[in-house]
Structure 1
Amino acid sequence: MKYMDMLALLGVGGAHPGGLHLTKRLLEKEEITSETSILDIGCGTGQTSAYLYCRYGCEITACDINATMVQKANKRFKQLKLPCKAIIEDIEDLSFDDESFDIILLESVAAFTNLSSSLRECKRVLKKGGIILAIETVKEPQMTEEDERLVSEFYHFQSIPNEMEWVEYWKKAGFSTVVSRHEHKIEEEGENIDFGTDFDLSDEIPSNVYDLLDDHERLTKKYQNLLGFCIFRCIS
């Protein structure tokens, strides 16, 4: 049982730093019309994709490597009567043609992958002048090698770069402009629903899923000052 399997079985939506609230803030700064083609990689249960279609009426392609997440995203689209469909894709080997999308969204996705492969694939399928918006985990300077090892083993991160290491990965993948903003946490505004996490529980959930959830909450508290996140806006 891996952390991502737990998220899928619990049907967690909005699990990335800042939740839907932060995603909305980032999207509002972009020029999105009904003609804009957006690829939502690691779409999870489809929360962001559903919002994008309802808000902008744009062309959405939702994908995730986890079949349970894809099933739950399609369930969400069907319930909302949206003409969207989620499909299974591997960010390190995408099936899309070169220069297919205007915008790519990565909400806490790339850190779980081989960055050299995944960021290069994103660059390939992004149109010239296209934009990637990414919200990704970064390690703080005080994190020790042992801390990094323990966190990586639990979450199955392939790496936890710091902010400048992330920037170098983006540049090596071929992005001409990389703007980053380092955050430690997003201050919540009262009872704003956009900060909440929604759930779509599977019919059968093994008991060790809840053990893993307890471990996640414990690690989150223990390493709250050692892990932050960055918002990256990268232009192809």
Structure 2
Amino acid sequence: MMNNPYLDLLAYFGIGGAHPGGIQLTKDLLSNEKILPNHYVLDIGCGTGQTAEFLTQTYVCRVTAVDNHPIIIEKAKKRLENRTELADVVKGNAQNLPFSENSFDLVLSESVVTFTDIDKTLSELFRVLKRNGHLIMIEMTAESPLSKSLHKEVCNLYGITDVLSEKEWTEKLRKAGFTHVEVISTPSELTQTEITDIALSENIGEELYDLWDEHTSLLEQSNIPLGYRVFRCN
């Protein structure tokens, strides 16, 4: 997940809740889960720690927040410095997590897996999840096959290798071992998430501002066949 200019953008801008639906979608999804104080939650690709902070404040559960970007880790630790009794911030790779099998009651992945080797990461998330636990995953999804030019544009912009359909995501989740894969009904349009949480770094390069403009321009294109899905798996 390193050496990706788009992830650098999120890190240097310190954007919290950059995933589709933002923090409000996260809150809505978690309100339907039975999260108890004795539960262990993994927030993979945690960003600046917005979701981890919400979890510790609302559910008083134990949260492990993992990311692989050093600037992101620094900002997450700063946000959670007064929550250390409940939140651990760990630098780690989603494709090779430093945790034992059956460690977590809930795994959250908010627009993360598509930036990794998808099969490896899904296998890792399955491995560290307790057998009666759940994975909630939000991911960009192709609503219909992308043209070659659009596929190339999207992959180059976000530093990814593919844009999967709902069916392809479901197949990969089942291949990783998840026996129950549910698609949670949400508005599926991929639109610009309102940014209300930001922690800017100093001396941000002009190229990252240009990249943000490219990202915004892409989402403003009419009839673009990109959306997102929320998957709940066990």
Identify the TM-score tier after normalising by the shorter chain: over 0.9
Structure-1 residue corresponding to 2:227: 228
SS in 2 for 1:85: strand
| 1:21–1:195 Cα contact (<8 Å) kept | no
**Cα distance in 2 for residues equivalent to 1:93 and 1:76:** 25
My pick for the range that moved more, 84-93 or 166-175, is 84-93
> Which residue type is aligned with residue 82 of structure 1?
R
Residues 122-169 of structure 1, C-alpha deviations (whole Å, 9 max, x = no match): 111111121000110001115213211210111012221100000000
My pick for the range that moved more, 29-38 or 210-219, is 210-219
From 131, 137, 158, the counterpart of 1:155: 158
Counterparts in 2 of 1:92 and 1:223: CA distance versus 1, 3 Å? farther
**Cα distance in 1 for residues equivalent to 2:222 and 2:102:** 39
Q: CA deviation at 1:223?
A: 6.4
Matched ranges for 1:91-170 at <5 A: 91-141=94-144, 143-170=146-173
Instruction: Provide structure 1 residue ranges, at least 5 long, that are not aligned to the other structure.
Output: 188-193
| 1:20–1:195 Cα contact (<8 Å) kept | no
**Cα distance in 2 for residues equivalent to 1:186 and 1:145:** 19
Counterparts in 2 of 1:75 and 1:38: CA distance versus 1, 3 Å? same
Structure-2 residue corresponding to 1:179: 182
| 1:105–1:132 Cα contact (<8 Å) kept | yes
Counterparts in 2 of 1:181 and 1:148: CA distance versus 1, 3 Å? farther
> Which residue type is aligned with residue 228 of structure 2?
F
SS in 1 for 2:80: helix
Structure-2 residue corresponding to 1:39: 42
| 1:18–1:185 Cα contact (<8 Å) kept | no
**Cα distance in 2 for residues equivalent to 1:117 and 1:223:** 34
Counterparts in 2 of 1:3 and 1:223: CA distance versus 1, 3 Å? farther
My pick for the range that moved more, 133-142 or 196-205, is 196-205
Instruction: Provide structure 2 residue ranges, at least 5 long, that are not aligned to the other structure.
Output: none
1:82 matches 2:83: yes
| 2:15–2:195 Cα contact (<8 Å) kept | no
Q: CA deviation at 1:90?
A: 0.4
1:70 matches 2:34: no
**Cα distance in 2 for residues equivalent to 1:201 and 1:142:** 36
Q: How large is the RMSD of aligned CA atoms in angstroms?
A: 1.9
Q: Please give the TM-score of this superposition, normalised by the length of structure 1.
A: 0.91
| 2:38–2:62 Cα contact (<8 Å) kept | yes
Structure-1 residue corresponding to 2:197: 198
